[in-house]
Amino acid sequence: MEHKLISPKNKMSLHSYLKLIWDYRYFSHSLAIGEIKNKYARTFTGLFLSVIQTLIGLAVYWLIFGIAIKIDTGDIPYPVFALPGIIVWQYFSYLVGNSSGALTNSEHLINKLYFPRINLTLAKVLPGLIDFGSGFLVFIVIFLSFGVSFSISWLAIPLVVIVLIICGLALGLWTSILSLYIRDLSQIIIQVTNFLIFVTPVFYPGTIVPDNFRFILYLNPVAGIIEYFRAILFGNALPDNGYLIGFAIITVLFVSAIFVYKRIEKQITDLL
């Protein structure tokens, strides 16, 4: 027989909180599946929509940065060089952008059901990965068609994806919390991400940034992820250790976000 005590003094341990989140994984899972199906249900292009979006984006950037500005990407053709950055950035901005509404747009669920509120934000991980996956398939096709060869370092790709998810979640969890207090946050996020894409090595290699400005990239965790991702895909030397600063930042943000969620979990209904 289950026994439960509801009391304002009742504090949950971190371990039992994490277990609770795990127990409700089906909940997140079904929300994510629902979101994916809802997104692609009865659309004409279906899953191809995201492929087409990726290709159009790539074509535009290729034209501007590859052909017009002629950014130096070494011996790697520009589209092959740019695409990993684009799909990483797409996933990151998807996760951060959608997380800002994860709690505020689910008021109907929060008001009527019990579940760990953090699972609403965690449910955003999967729908974005669909786009990421389809983008990666496009990458492989382009990669092969330009005659670049695979390297053994591709085995490390899952690691990059995990770090990317944690990075997106760290910021996504924080934006979802803050959007309880700042209702126009989702609008602000759109503006900020539109700006941030240019201080992230999406269209250019991080190495072309002068040394005295490099610290901006070091503080930006997405910059590190893109640089490592490229190094792994193209079998290049790993980027310099300055990027580890960014990873340290997201680790702190991620862990602190979970603690904050644990703390305000119960109050979220009343904060909405």
Partner 1 sequence: MTNTKAIIIKDLCKEYYKKDSSQKSFWSKLKGNKGGQPFYALKDINLEINRGEVIGIIGPNGAGKSTLLKILAEVTPPTAGSVEIFGKVASILQVGIGFQQELTGYENIFLSGNIYGLKRNIIESKFDSIVDMFGFPDFLHTPVKYYSSGMYMRLAFAVIANIDADIYLLDEVLSVGDLNFRDKVLNMISKMSGKGKTILIVTHAPDTIYAYCDKIAILNKAQILKFGKPQNCIAKYNLLAYENAEKQNLTINRNIENNKTIIDNNLSKHFQTHSAEVINTDTYFQGNELELEVKFTKSSNIKFRISYIIKDELNKPIAEIKSNITIKDSGNYKYKAFVPTRLLNNFNYLVDIFVYAETKLCVIYPKALSFKLTNKNKDSSFCMLEFNDFKCELLKESNN
Can you give the binding site for partner 1, defined by CB under 8 A? 1-8, 10, 24, 26-27, 29-31, 33-34, 37-38, 41-42, 108-115, 181-183, 266-267, 269-271
In whole angstroms, the minimum distance from the beta carbon of 6 to partner 1 comes to: 4
Least distance in Å: CB of 185 to partner 1? Answer: 10
In the complex with partner 1, which residue's Cβ is closer, 35 or 157? 35
* C-beta separation of 115 from 52 below 8 A: no
Nearer to partner 1, 30 or 45 (CB): 30
Is the Cβ of residue 41 or residue 237 nearer to partner 1 in the bound state?
41
The tokens describing 88, both together, are 């990483």
Question: Smallest distance from the beta carbon of 262 to partner 1, in angstroms?
Answer: 13
Q: Least Å distance between CB 36 and partner 1?
A: 10
**What is the rounded CA–CA span in Å between residue 64 and residue 3?**
63
Amino acid code (one letter) for 261:
Y
Least CB distance from residue 79 to partner 1, whole Å? Answer: 34
Minimum CB separation of residue 4 from partner 1 in Å reads 4
Side chain identity, residue 38: N
Q: Which is nearer to partner 1, 22 or 146 (CB)?
A: 22
8 A C-beta contact, residue 230 and residue 156: no
Instruction: Specify burial of residue 259 (Cβ count, 10 A radius: 0-12, 13-18, 19+).
Output: exposed
Nearer to partner 1, 161 or 257 (CB): 257
CB nearer to partner 1: pick between 58 and 110: 110
Rounded least distance, CB 176 to partner 1, Å: 15
Q: For residues 87 and 136, give the distance between their C-alpha atoms in angstroms, rounded to a whole number.
A: 7
Q: Can you give the length of the chain in residues?
A: 272
* Of residues 75 and 270, the one with the C-beta less far from partner 1: 270
Helix (H) or strand (E) holding 231: helix 221-234
**Closest among 254, 255, 208, 248 to 227, alpha carbons compared:** 208
Q: What angle do CA 81, 76, 159 make, to 5 degrees?
A: 50
Smallest gap from Cβ 33 to partner 1, in A, equals 7
Residue with tokens 């579940």: 115
Using the minimum distance from each CB to partner 1, give the nearer residue, 46 or 74: 46
Calculate the alpha carbon distances from 215 to 28, 36, 113, 226, 254 in Å. 37, 38, 45, 16, 21
Vertex 74: Cα angle to 244 and 71 (nearest 5): 90
Rounded distance, CA 57 to CA 55, Å? 5
